[in-house]
């Protein structure tokens, strides 16, 4: 009797839990947005488990159907399978990046393993694979449109290149590799966030020489909130760290901050060295299972670059073009620093931002802090959103009835020029302990066409770590932060303007080395007076930014371009080095030193490294893909040169960019899309001209 009562009680609890879990059903909120207020952390894991169970049932039904395989009953059915699972994944994993907690982090580790096992089970389903292959083998007779053909190609590759044809021990090895990689990459990212949050640097008034009022005020506010009024609390959060390195006159403290920031995740509880060794070893094993010598060769097969040789060709070409200018920049900076100090100075990496900022001010009378009052966040939002209005006719309306996941977050409805509903964009601008560092765009819902022909519009989000407002000042941005906003908003437009039939190919679901084109294209507007004049005004007086200040931004745009390029190349070479290994690496730090030698700017600093915090390649999906930023930079400079020629707000050129790039997603090969927009293949010439390396 007691057992029966417990069974009934458990069943009742389960039924009530399912009825109350908002992730189990379609949302009935305004515009079908995520009901964040109703979701509890405990809801996620049960929703993921349920989603996996339902997805498995859908996959089983597709694989076991008696009808002969067709494009509709196999490929389209496969595309539409797992929607319940996708709904919870898009919420959980996005919030685990932007508003996490220890419980969510542990769920992420468990969920990643379950999801990896589910994905592998789909790929290894031989009945399903045979159906996909049968449709693919008959593709010449199907008379498919371009988008359907791409969906079929993607489905076939998803199986063929992820183990469907593996047998016996190789199949078992694949399963184990994928599962372990999923767990390790998740833990890598968590370690970065966890260690970052452990750093508190307490300073006194005597330690603040050179720091701008905005940094001092923020540090005082942080100390006050921590119960130590009268002191100053600095962390390694990106805006705090960058401002400190740029302005602190205390070389000893800059060195301390640098060593802390660049020494993260090397020792102790949150060390990532073992994770790096194992991740790269497993990726190499994975590549070898498919007959490739390196992971990069395996990963690049379906990128614009196509192969390792083409990536190194670009990196080497840019290195040779920029190296002479970078060496001159460093020599000039060394001479300047020595003059400032009245004695010879050997520049160290913790000196670069400080003296570079001083030289920039001396040469162009440019001080980013001086410009902050003209870039108050709400005005910048109007300006950046207004760019989309001028180019594409979009309108943005804040919707306070849409639930958000944190009080800092705002939601906006986006409508088209004729009033048609385009989508929703969330903005999340300020750092907090629950958010990882950096800036990114993501989506809570992709665009796609439903079974009844409805164009289901996307919900996207842009997440950043800008300078927070204080008790007496709003959030005032530097030009660099405005550029970051423009960048992520470019990604958001790629998602918002998507107009494809299938979710798996909409928006930013494109080749890795093509995805940064819309974002980096947007950055070009920061140096355009016509753009700045539209929103940059003093947050107190309302006066527009003086022409002299606009000229400073424009005239200083090429300053240190060679250094910036070489730094990006360093990340690219390091990424490629890790993913072109042919044997496991033991000494992570020595390997890194050798990998970046071709683009080394400063000698290595003992106890400092990039790899242990390199989220992009060890946790963020850019493995063998970090070169994409420079690849896309070539594209964006080439693309913007057409706008410069026709007018930066030229309607015809903007329409072409929207219809041929932003709306198409991954429905065609990006080289085809780009040529259709530009009328030619890109060259590095426009980039060299923009950066002042080559005269026009």
Tens of pLDDT, residue by residue over 107-150, are 999 999 899 899 989 998 999 999 999 999 999 999 999 999 99
- Residue ending a domain, among 114, 145, 165, is 165
Q: What's the token pair of residue 184?
A: 């390790």
Tens of pLDDT, residue by residue over 664-679, are 999 999 999 999 999 9
| Residue 485 predicted with pLDDT over 90 | yes
Is there a single domain that holds both residue 406 and residue 318? Answer: no
Is there a single domain that holds both residue 486 and residue 379? Answer: yes
Helix, strand, coil percentages, rounded to 5, for the chain: 60, 5, 35
| Residue 469 predicted with pLDDT over 60 | yes
| Residue 499 predicted with pLDDT over 90 | yes
Is there a single domain that holds both residue 427 and residue 342? Answer: no
Q: What is the number of helices (H) and of strands (E) in the chain?
A: 28, 9
Task: In whole angstroms, give the CA distance from residue 681 to residue 51.
Answer: 44
Report the pLDDT value the prediction gives residue 468, as an integer from 0 to 100. 86
**Average pLDDT for 145-159:** 96
What string of DSSP letters covers 281-333?
Answer: HHHHHHHHHTT-SSHHHHHGGGSSS-SHHHHHHHHHHHHHHHHHHHHHHHHHH
Is there a single domain that holds both residue 379 and residue 514? Answer: yes
CA-only gyration radius of the chain, Å: 26
Report the pLDDT value the prediction gives residue 19, as an integer from 0 to 100. 59
Q: Whole-prediction pTM value?
A: 0.83
Is residue 471 very low, low, confident or very high in pLDDT (cuts 50, 70, 90)? Answer: confident
Q: What's the token pair of residue 540?
A: 């107190």
Tens of pLDDT, residue by residue over 315-326, are 999 999 999 999
Handedness of CA 374, 377, 382, 386 (dihedral sign): positive
Residue 646 lies in a domain: yes
376: domain CATH number? 1.10.1370.40
Residue 186 lies in a domain: no
Is residue 443 very low, low, confident or very high in pLDDT (cuts 50, 70, 90)? Answer: very high
What string of DSSP letters covers 451-512?
Answer: TTS-EEPPEEEEE--PPPP-SS---B--HHHHHHHHHHHHHHHHHHT---S-GGGSTT-S-T
Closest by Cα among 109, 95, 89 to 187: 109
Q: Of all helices (H) and strands (E), which one includes residue 233?
A: strand 232-234
- Tokens 């999340």 correspond to what residue? 428
Residue 432 lies in a domain: yes
Is there a single domain that holds both residue 376 and residue 456? Answer: yes
Report the pLDDT value the prediction gives residue 214, as an integer from 0 to 100. 87
Instruction: Decide: helix, strand or coil at residue 450.
Output: coil
Residue 500 lies in a domain: yes
Residue 183 lies in a domain: no
Total tally of structural domains belonging to the chain? 4
Task: In whole angstroms, give the CA distance from residue 466 to residue 463.
Answer: 9
Task: In whole angstroms, give the CA distance from residue 604 to residue 601.
Answer: 9
- Tokens 């850019």 correspond to what residue? 622
Task: In whole angstroms, give the CA distance from residue 427 to residue 409.
Answer: 6
| Residue 695 predicted with pLDDT over 90 | no
Residue 177 lies in a domain: no
**Average pLDDT for 166-181:** 91
Task: In whole angstroms, give the CA distance from residue 694 to residue 696.
Answer: 6
* Contact call for residues 104 and 189 (beta carbons, < 8 A): no
Is there a single domain that holds both residue 380 and residue 524? Answer: yes
Is there a single domain that holds both residue 439 and residue 349? Answer: no
Report the pLDDT value the prediction gives residue 551, as an integer from 0 to 100. 85
Report the pLDDT value the prediction gives residue 394, as an integer from 0 to 100. 98
Q: What's the token pair of residue 682?
A: 């890109």
Residue 178 lies in a domain: no
Tens of pLDDT, residue by residue over 638-691, are 999 999 999 999 999 999 999 999 999 999 999 999 999 999 999 999 999 999
Residue 125: other Cβ atoms inside 10 A: 20
- Give the ranges where 144-196 is alpha helix by DSSP (H): 146-160, 168-196
Catalytically active residues are: 488
- Residue ending a domain, among 557, 578, 602, is 557
Closest by Cα among 157, 80, 123, 34 to 504: 80
Task: In whole angstroms, give the CA distance from residue 446 to residue 90.
Answer: 9
Tens of pLDDT, residue by residue over 534-568, are 999 999 999 999 888 888 888 888 999 999 999 99
Chain CA centroid to CA 134, Å: 37
Name the phi and psi angles at 504, rounded to 5.
-70, -10
Instruction: Decide: helix, strand or coil at residue 448.
Output: strand
Is there a single domain that holds both residue 379 and residue 417? Answer: yes
Report the pLDDT value the prediction gives residue 4, as an integer from 0 to 100. 43
* Maximum alpha-carbon separation in the chain: 90
- What whole-number percentage of the chain has pLDDT above 70? 97
Range of the domain at 37: 2-165
Ranges 6-20, 29-43, 70-84: which has the least confidence: 6-20
Is there a single domain that holds both residue 136 and residue 250? Answer: no
Q: How many C-alpha atoms does 410 have within 13 Å on its Cβ side? A: 14
Closest by Cα among 462, 398, 464, 457 to 432: 464
* Contact call for residues 316 and 220 (beta carbons, < 8 A): no
Is there a single domain that holds both residue 463 and residue 420? Answer: yes
Residue 500 gets the label, from left (phi > 0), alpha (psi -120 to 50) or beta, of beta
Report the pLDDT value the prediction gives residue 570, as an integer from 0 to 100. 98
Beta carbons within 8 Å of 652's beta carbon, 6+ residues apart: 646
| Residue 1 predicted with pLDDT over 60 | no
Is there a single domain that holds both residue 341 and residue 236? Answer: no
**Average pLDDT for 366-375:** 89
| Residue 179 predicted with pLDDT over 70 | yes
- Tokens 């429905």 correspond to what residue? 667
Residue 180 lies in a domain: no
Q: What distances in angstroms separate CA 374 from CA 89, 411, 558, 592, one per listed residue? A: 39, 24, 21, 41
| Residue 8 predicted with pLDDT over 50 | no
Instruction: Decide: helix, strand or coil at residue 415.
Output: strand
Residue 308: other Cβ atoms inside 10 A: 19
For residue 376, give the DSSP letter: B
Name the phi and psi angles at 71, rounded to 5.
-60, -40
| Residue 92 predicted with pLDDT over 80 | yes
For residue 682, give the DSSP letter: -
| Residue 576 predicted with pLDDT over 50 | yes
| Residue 593 predicted with pLDDT over 80 | yes
Q: What is the mean pLDDT of the chain?
A: 93
Is residue 20 very low, low, confident or very high in pLDDT (cuts 50, 70, 90)? Answer: confident
- Residue ending a domain, among 557, 583, 605, is 557
Closest by Cα among 384, 374, 349, 358 to 559: 358
Question: Hey, what long-range contacts does 236-239 have (CB within 8 A, 24 or more apart)?
Answer: 236/196, 236/199, 236/201, 236/260, 236/261, 236/264, 237/196, 237/431, 237/437, 237/465, 238/431, 238/437, 238/438, 238/465, 239/431, 239/465, 239/466, 239/467, 239/481
Report the pLDDT value the prediction gives residue 622, as an integer from 0 to 100. 92
Is there a single domain that holds both residue 350 and residue 378? Answer: no
Tens of pLDDT, residue by residue over 261-278, are 999 999 999 999 999 999
């Amino acid at each position: 009797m007691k057992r029966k009562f417990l069974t009934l009680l458990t069943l009742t609890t389960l039924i009530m839990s399912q009825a109350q879990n908002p992730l189990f059903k379609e949302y009935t909120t305004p515009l079908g947005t995520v009901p964040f207020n109703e979701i509890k952390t405990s809801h996620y894991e049960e929703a993921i488990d349920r989603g996996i169970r339902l997805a498995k049932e859908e996959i089983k039904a597709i694989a076991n159907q008696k009808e002969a395989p067709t494009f509709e009953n196999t490929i389209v059915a496969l595309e539409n399978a797992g929607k319940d699972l996708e709904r919870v994944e898009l919420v959980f994993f996005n919030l685990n990046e932007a508003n996490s907690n220890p419980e969510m982090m542990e769920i992420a580790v468990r969920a990643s393993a379950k999801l990896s096992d589910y994905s592998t089970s789909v790929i290894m389903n031989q009945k399903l694979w045979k159906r996909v292959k049968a449709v693919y083998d008959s593709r010449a007779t199907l008379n498919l449109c371009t988008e359907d053909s791409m969906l079929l190609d993607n489905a076939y590759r998803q199986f063929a290149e992820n183990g469907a044809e593996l047998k016996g021990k190789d199949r078992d090895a694949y399963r184990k590799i994928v599962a372990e990689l999923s767990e390790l990459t998740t833990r890598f990212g968590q370690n970065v966030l966890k260690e970052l949050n452990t750093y508190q640097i307490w300073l006194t008034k005597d330690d603040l020489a050179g720091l701008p009022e905005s940094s001092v005020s923020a540090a005082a506010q942080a100390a006050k909130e921590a119960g130590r009024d009268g002191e100053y609390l600095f962390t390694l959060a990106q805006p705090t760290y960058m401002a400190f390195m740029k302005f602190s006159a205390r070389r000893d403290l800059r060195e301390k901050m640098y060593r802390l920031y660049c020494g993260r995740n090397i020792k102790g509880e949150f060390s990532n060295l073992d994770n790096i060794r194992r991740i790269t070893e497993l990726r190499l094993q994975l590549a070898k299972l498919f007959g490739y010598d390196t992971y990069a060769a395996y990963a690049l097969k379906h990128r614009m670059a196509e192969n390792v040789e083409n990536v190194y060709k670009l990196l080497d070409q840019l290195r040779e073009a920029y190296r002479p200018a970078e060496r001159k920049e460093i020599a000039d900076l060394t001479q300047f620093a020595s003059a400032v100090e009245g004695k010879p100075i050997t520049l160290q990496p913790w000196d670069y931002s400080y003296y570079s900022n001083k030289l920039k001010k001396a040469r162009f009378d440019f001080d980013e802090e001086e410009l902050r009052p003209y870039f108050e966040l709400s005005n910048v939002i109007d300006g950046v959103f207004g760019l989309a209005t001028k180019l594409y006719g979009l309108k943005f309306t804040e919707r306070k009835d849409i639930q958000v996941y944190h009080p800092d977050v705002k939601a906006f409805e986006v409508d088209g020029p004729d009033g048609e509903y385009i989508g929703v964009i969330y903005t999340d601008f300020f750092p907090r302990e629950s958010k990882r560092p950096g800036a990114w765009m993501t989506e809570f819902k992709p665009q796609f066409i439903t079974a009844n022909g409805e164009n289901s519009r996307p919900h996207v989000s842009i997440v950043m770590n800008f300078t927070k407002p204080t008790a007496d000042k709003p959030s005032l941005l530097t030009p660099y932060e405005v550029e970051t906003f423009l960048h992520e908003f470019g990604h958001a437009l790629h998602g918002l303007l998507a107009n494809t039939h299938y979710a798996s190919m909409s928006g930013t679901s494109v080749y890795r080395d093509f995805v940064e084109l819309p974002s980096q294209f947007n950055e070009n507007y920061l140096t355009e007076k016509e753009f700045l004049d539209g929103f940059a005004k003093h947050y107190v007086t309302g006066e527009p930014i003086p022409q002299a200040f606009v000229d400073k931004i424009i005239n200083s745009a090429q300053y240190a371009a060679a250094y910036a390029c070489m730094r990006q190349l360093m990340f690219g070479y390091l990424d490629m080095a890790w993913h072109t290994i042919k044997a496991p690496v033991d000494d992570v730090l020595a390997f890194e030193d050798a990998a970046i030698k071709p683009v080394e700017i400063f000698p290595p600093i003992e106890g400092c490294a990039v790899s242990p915090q390199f989220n992009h390649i060890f946790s963020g999906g850019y493995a063998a893909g970090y070169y994409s930023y420079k690849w896309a930079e070539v594209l964006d400079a080439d693309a913007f040169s057409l706008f410069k020629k026709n007018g930066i707000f030229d309607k015809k050129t903007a329409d072409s960019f929207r219809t041929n790039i932003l709306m198409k997603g991954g429905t065609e090969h990006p080289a085809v899309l780009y040529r259709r927009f530009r009328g030619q293949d890109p060259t590095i010439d426009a980039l060299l001209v923009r950066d002042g390396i080559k005269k026009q």
